[in-house]
Every structure is written in C-alpha cells, then in structure tokens.
Amino acid sequence: MIEKLLQTDTDYVCTFLRIVAGIIIFPYGMQKLLGWFGGVGIEGTLEQMTVRKIPKFIAWLIIIGQSFGSIALIFGFLGRIAAGGLFIIFTGALIVHLPDGWSMNWFGTKEGEGIEYHVLLLSLLLIIIVNGSGAMSIDSWLLSVPSENRAAQMANVARAIVGLYQ
C-alpha cells in the first residue's frame, strides 16, 4: 500500500507544482504555528478559530496540516497525503470565502477576499494528489530503497523534518 502512496513519475512539472504549492502554503502554517510572517502563533490562532466556532481539534489539525504539510510538499515527503490534507483545509477556506465572490480584493474595495486564489491552489494540490510528488522528491527516493529498509528510512526522514522545529 505504501508503494501506491509513494508512486510518482519523475516529472519535473509535478516537482515544480509541488514546490510552488508548498512555498505558497508555508507562510500560512508558520503564521499559525510560530507567529512568523505577521502571524499570531498557536494561541492567537486557536482564539481566532474559536471565535469562528471552529472546534479546537479541527483548529489543531489546520495548524499542523498547514505547517508540516507545506514542508512535506516542499521536500516531497508523502506528497499525496500532505496534498490531500491541505486540499481538505483549503476547501474549508474556499467555503468560508464563498460569500466574498470570485475575485480577490485587489483594490481594497470589498470586505473580504474572493475564491479565485483558493481554486488555483486546490488545482495545484489536486495535480499532486493524482500524480504524486514528481522528480527530486523524498517519495521518489524512498521507492528506490529496498522495501525491507523503507520504514526505517521514512522514520529517519520524519525525525529530520521534526528536527527543523527544535
């Protein structure tokens, strides 16, 4: 089963789209997790989500999904899973922004942002879900590792990613 999740073409277009999606989402995750990029950090994010009547459990999933999911996309580690989780998160964001119409608030003349950005990002994530992480990804490298060593190598990669936060 893990082979099906890791399976990817060595396509550089998928690589480019995966990295772009990860870079786009990274600041959102870091705003929520660490307060970078003008964000409010975990406590502020949880408060904002509570005001919007989003359960704390879901808020934590959003924080973790955006922060770790974006890094997983950038490195191509379990790209389909990361893209799937982020697809769910940004579908929720699209629903929240539906009342604001299609276009973004380019000129500051409306109250909210439209959904065109979310549709574009969801399209990128859907391509990654369908095609995998592409070339130059940890997924592609893991497929080249003999299956008996794959679990140990995946654990090493996960420890390295978590180590980025320490």
* Domain hosting residue 149, numbered range: 2-163
Q: Tell me which amino acid residue 128 is.
A: I
Give which of 126, 140, 129, 146 is closest to 6, Cα–Cα.
140
Give which of 123, 133, 142 is closest to 12, Cα–Cα.
133
What pLDDT, in 10s, does the model give residues 69-87?
999 999 999 999 999 999 9
pLDDT at residue 164 in the model = 65
What pLDDT, in 10s, does the model give residues 102-113?
888 788 787 878
Domain tally, the chain:
1
